[in-house]
A and B are shown apart, each in its own frame.
Chain A
Amino acid sequence: SQQGEEDPQALSIQEGENATMNCSYKTSINNLQWYRQNSGRGLVHLILIRSNEREKHSGRLRVTLDTSKKSSSLLITASRAADTASYFCATDGEETSGSRLTFGEGTQLTVNP
Chain B
Amino acid sequence: GAGVSQSPSNKVTEKGKDVELRCDPISGHTALYWYRQSLGQGLEFLIYFQGNSAPDKSGLPSDRFSAERTGGSVSTLTIQRTQQEDSAVYLCASTQDRVLQYFGPGTRLTVT
User: Which residues on A are within 8 Å of B, measured CB to CB?
Assistant: 2, 4, 31, 33, 35, 40-45, 48, 88, 90, 92, 97-106
Contacts and interface: CB of A to CB of B under 8 A. Distances in A.
B103 to A, nearest CB: 4
A99 B42 contact: no
B42 A88 contact: yes
A45 B101 contact: yes
Contacts of A42: 4, 91, 103-106
Interface in B32-49: 33, 35, 37, 39-45, 48
A104 B50 CA distance: 24
B89 interface: yes
A48 to B, nearest CB: 7
A99 B101 CA distance: 10
A43 B91 contact: yes
Contact of A92 (B42, B44, B99, B102): B99
